[in-house]
Structure 1
Amino acid sequence: MQHYYTPKRRHLTLAERRMIERWLQEGFSNREIARRLAKAPQTIHNEVKRGQVRQQVRKGKFEIIYSADFAQEAYQNNRKHSVKQASLTKELKEKILHYIKQKYSPEMMVKAKGIPVSVSTIYYWIHHGHLGLTKDDMLYPRKEKTKKKQASPNFKPAGKSIEERPKSINQRENVGDVEIDTVIQTRAKNECLLTLTDRKSRYQIIRLIPDKSASSVNQALKMILREYQINSITADNGPEFSRLADVFDPENIYYAHPYSSWERGTNENHNRLIRRWLPKGSKTATQQQVAFIENWINNYPKKILGYKSPKEFLQTG
């Protein structure tokens, strides 16, 4: 006796539907097609029945035939309506709004905080106005693309190039290899934030400094080095980092290529978390605010860490 099977969750593909269409035109039976595709005959019978269309073969003459494209479209439409839509209760809405106020992304609400709906459902509710939010409430409102800048062909980095960075740092093998940056609040020459992000644990250090100058950066870095073990620093080529060698071993300082922020992607992504609390244009920030944001980031679960926070990762590995 022939055994046919249809693996669980193994739906027919468009390629298989086109084979069914061709084999039907060649005169093969549903049972033979099922054997060739290793499917149950009933599966092929149902598929052929659902995929039938009325096609004109000549004037006044029509035939009912199986169409792979029509069957695929019908399948996709049915899949869209096959999942029961989650209902937005008052309690669930209050929970989601609570975490939005806490600057949690929909993914973290679901994965780390146990909100019992899908990530896409939360985004759907946000974008369709079910939560009463506006564009200003979004964590990262979309902006127009800017023209990519190009570095001068005569450019020389302030120290060792990132290309010389050891494999152990590139592969995030050890805690203590950090990326450094500054986060300005306004275009005016006033206080800004100095940020250091550990490449392995994603632990973030934030300090409020008087201005975006090399002397202010170095003064803050001196204080940080008294508290934290730092093995290497990866910086951009801004003038504020041109004198890092005055306070840190130049053999362990690496400079990214100009206009290549992705080479310090860990730091850049964590700076975006800061913007959840201090959007661009924020005129002032207090030491208390900075300490709160630093603590919030270091207790914020990260997908890359298995939904542990940086603090939990450092404590448990």
Structure 2
Amino acid sequence: MQDYYTPKGKHLTLSDRRNIERWLHEGCSNREVARRLDKAPQTIHNEVKRGLILQQVRQSRFKMVYSADRAQMAYEENRKRSVKAVQLDKQTKEKICHYLTQKYSPEMMVKSGKVNVPVSTIYYWIHHGHLGVGKEALLYPRKAKANKKQASPNFKPAGKSIEERPESINKRENIGDFEIDTVIQTRAKNECLLTLTDRKSRYQIIRLIPDKSASSVNHALRTILQEYQIHSITADNGTEFSRLSEVFDPEQIYYAHPYVSWERGTNENHNRLIRRWLPKGSKNVTQKQVTFIENWINNYPKKVLDYKTPREVLYAG
């Protein structure tokens, strides 16, 4: 019984084909070539058959010989035809465009089972205009790298440093450890959004507050604490968070380092989700809009949650 085989996906390479050509020229049999390459004899038989060309050995005499280059060309042509192209029909186009308006990324459309098309194909259709939308339909277009800002050497945080935060919070072990931030809509000193994101479940709380001040933040936080159980808060060093200790246990408030937004990456990423619905410069935001966005985020499947929603994880844990 043979003890060698060709595993799925382990195709012959051009180097393998060069060896086959050389060994056949030296007089090796197909079975001997198969043994040397650790392949099934039938694999080598099919390969040799596919790579035969007519070669002149002397005047008026020709014979069929194996050519590695000819076999490689045949292999590459066959690979191009091995995958059936996905056709963009009217129903698929309408479905993708619908979820684009719902601010779904192509990956989320596919992974959540809403669209049965490869992710790369959707991006291809967008980039080549097959969906009737351009690159503006992409949620996060790439931006030029900004200059890194540096904190003053004399800087002191408003409270306990994030370096003192327990490992249980760093590892997202428990529900109730939140990151907090504000999202401004315009440069004018008017209404903005207060956002809190649970580190484990990614559940998002959004409140519309009259301005970006410590008193407005504290007033909204008092209301939130009546509805949700919060064990810890991680904030940046903005003045709006300088008085959190007036409404929350100061031992459970941690301040990130200046200009290191990735230390509150969970909250920052969720604020980007808000921007899908309220781009910078949006005016006259209503409480109805805020409620809709909060509900949309908490019912949006996430890859990091194994495509469960934050609401499902929150109430399951």
TM-score band, normalised by shorter chain: 0.7 to 0.9
How does the TM-score come out when normalised to structure 1? 0.86
Query: In the alignment, residue 91 of structure 1 is paired with which amino acid?
Result: Q
User: Match for residue 159 of structure 2?
Assistant: 159
Q: Does 1:111 align with 2:111?
A: yes
Give the gaps of 5 or more residues in structure 1.
Answer: 54-62
CA-to-partner distance for each residue in 1:190-242, whole Å, 9 max, x for gaps?
Answer: 11111000011111000111111222111111111111100011111222212
Residue 218 of structure 1 corresponds to which residue in structure 2?
218
User: Which residue matches 1:60?
Assistant: none
Deviation, structure 1 residue 155: 2.2
- 1:247-286 matches, within 5 Å, as 247-286=247-286
Larger radius of gyration: 2
In 2, Cα distance between equivalents of 1:203 and 1:108: 18
Deviation at 1:24, TM superposition (A): 5.5
What are structure 2's unaligned runs of at least 5 residues?
54-64
Q: Tell me the residue number matched to 1:150.
A: 150
Q: Deviations over 1:277-307 (max 9, x none)?
A: 0011112211110011001111111122221
Answer with 135-144 or 109-118: which moved more.
135-144
SS where residue 233 of structure 2 aligns? strand
The answer to whether the 8 A contact 2:48-2:66 is kept is: no
Normalised by the length of structure 2, the TM-score is 0.86
Deviates more, 1:254-263 or 1:33-42: 33-42
Q: 1:109 Cα deviation (Å)? A: 1.2
Which residue matches 1:169?
169
1:192 aligns with 2:189: no
**In structure 2, what is the Cα distance between the partners aligned to 1:258 and 1:217?**
20
Q: CA deviation at 1:80?
A: 4.7
Tell me what 1:88 maps to. Answer: 88
Question: Percent identity, aligned pairs only?
Answer: 73
SS at match of 1:254: strand
Change (3 A) 1:77 1:127: farther
Provide the rounded CA distance (Å) in 1 between the counterparts of 2:27 and 2:176.
Answer: 67
Aligned to 1:6: 6
**Mapping of 1:1-317 within 5 angstroms?**
1-12=1-12, 17-18=14-15, 21=18, 25=22, 27=26, 29=28, 30-47=30-47, 66=68, 71=72, 78-317=78-317
| Greater mean alpha carbon deviation, residues 256-265 or residues 226-235 | 256-265
CA distance in 1, matches of 2:174, 2:313: 13
